[in-house]
Chain A
Amino acid sequence: AQKVTQAQTEISVVEKEDVTLDCVYETRDTTYYLFWYKQPPSGELVFLIRRNSFDEQNEISGRYSWNFQKSTSSFNFTITASQVVDSAVYFCALSSDNAGNMLTFGGGTRLMVKP
């Protein structure tokens, strides 16, 4: 069975602070995919990034960066210089070909960025 754990249920920061959202996953599959989705107060799920298990290169996109470490089964997400608009619930998710490509979501981390 697959599992995703986001230990931080809620994080509060002040604008311009850096913040890291943790994600730890479990899977027996050797090929799998990791994702981050953002759920703003309006409720939709916005795709942020996908990472394949065979590609451990870290990625940076503007103020967002992702650190994938297979050795610790973690896929952490860092927001640099946070802004109020970053306030949302962030979900880490996992899928694999052997599991029908369904997404297994973590419990989410609610990020509140205060001005």
Chain B
Amino acid sequence: EPEVTQTPSHQVTQMGQEVILRCVPISNHLYFYWYRQILGQKVEFLVSFYNNEISEKSEIFDDQFSVERPDGSNFTLKIRSTKLEDSAMYFCASRGDRAYADTQYFGPGTRLTVL
């Protein structure tokens, strides 16, 4: 069964450093998302991406964040200068086209720890 994959599973970084979180969405999916979950809290939407551009973003997704689909398979989230409050689990999700099912399937997550 196709699945979303994410690397690394855990990333530890120093405050102020740049990090790139990687995702490989399900191959025939067209819409891609990033969400984050601060420990013990709910899952929050960050950004959606379709047709090589951002379609929606939340107020959390400020200038420190960027997304990219550098090739036909990867979807990345970059945080330019990490802060302590960026420590969270980051989930990538993907879904097919609107007619298909509108269900988002999630990757296993990357736990980001900022020291």
Contact = CB atoms under 8 A, between A and B. Distances in A.
Interface in A75-115: 91, 93, 95, 97, 99-108
Interface in B5-51: 31, 33, 35, 41-45, 48
Chain B contact residues: helix, strand, loop or mixed? strand
B35 A103 contact: yes
Nearest to B33: A102
Interface stretch (A13-21, A44-52, A60-68): A44-52
Interface of A: 33, 35, 37, 43-47, 50, 91, 93, 95, 97, 99-108
7 contacts: A43-B108, A46-B106, A95-B104, A100-B56, A102-B48, A103-B33, A105-B43
Interface of B: 31, 33, 35, 41-45, 48, 55-56, 58, 89, 91, 93, 95, 98, 101-109, 111
